Homo-oligomer: A and B are copies of this chain.
């Protein structure tokens, strides 16, 4: 198959962890051996192994028939292990990675340096690392191709590029297939757990005063057991009943404000709400994340707003459909 086929597999895998890698970019990697796929992996969370490393560990396991005895997400262990394999172990392998391997030694060792030592048959890169200081990883590599599905690879890291300089604003919406947003929990347990994972990595969850008063939400991460996010309530008055559950969650900061200047700070902000918040934040929204449930409903809570979108990625979350889209100004 063409390089773009394998790169697409790497992209699809990376999308499964979109947002969850914050503050790192989403990255996917595929390793092949004479065209046969050995591994399809993605970076899953900041501080743990990068996509290339996970894919190489899995490829080692497939080629050797052995299992490693450490956790592959432990980047130091994984790098060390890969560096001690016999010379030429991956000599017949190619690696596809959506983003140029890091030249930078940060929380994890440099992937470019590792790949340079492992001396694979080919390294195929979706796009160069756009961050000065992290880029240039490809320079140390031989037999490199750069720019396969480059536009799609650029879209994948769009949130990352935005949160370098200001808040990436992700508006989350759960709806039926005919666009109804009311009537209790709409989403599957799998979708709800995904929302809680996103909440856990977000710097804050931004909601409207009306949601607080009407829904009396908790907005924690109980489905995943992670720490609850800080909350910003967008409201010009603060007359909220402090017995509303969100105020009682431990280790959480709740702020009530009508000032959105905090969105100028590099961060990940998830907005949860309905028509009111969509209207109020319409200028600020970067992406919309839609969890669409497989039902048509007569519930009359819908939302009226004119907004052009650009679909970026869709995948199933259990019975639901999860659709990532960009607000388009066209």
Contact = CB atoms under 8 A, between A and B. Distances in A.
A85 interface: no
A316 B8 CA distance: 14
Interface in A21-44: 32-37
Interface in A279-329: 290, 294-298, 300, 302-311, 314, 316, 319-321, 323, 325, 328
A306 B311 contact: no
B294 A304 contact: no
B178 A302 contact: yes
Interface size class for chain A? 35 or more
Interface of A: 1, 5, 32-37, 175-180, 278, 290, 294-298, 300, 302-311, 314, 316, 319-321, 323, 325, 328
B296 A309 contact: yes
Contacts of A302: 178-179, 302
A325 B177 CA distance: 10
B309 A177 contact: yes
A284 to B, nearest CB: 16
Contact of A311 (B32, B33, B303, B319): B319
Contact of A323 (B35, B295, B298, B321): B321
A145 B316 CA distance: 28
B309 A304 contact: no
Contacts of A294: 308-311, 325, 328
27 contacts: A1-B36, A32-B36, A33-B35, A34-B34, A34-B35, A36-B36, A176-B179, A177-B179, A177-B290, A177-B309, A178-B302, A179-B179, A278-B296, A294-B308, A294-B328, A295-B306, A295-B307, A296-B305, A296-B306, A296-B307, A300-B304, A302-B302, A310-B319, A311-B316, A314-B314, A314-B316, A314-B321
Contact of A178 (B175, B297, B319): B175
Contacts of A295: 306-309
Contacts of A308: 294-295
A202 B35 CA distance: 40
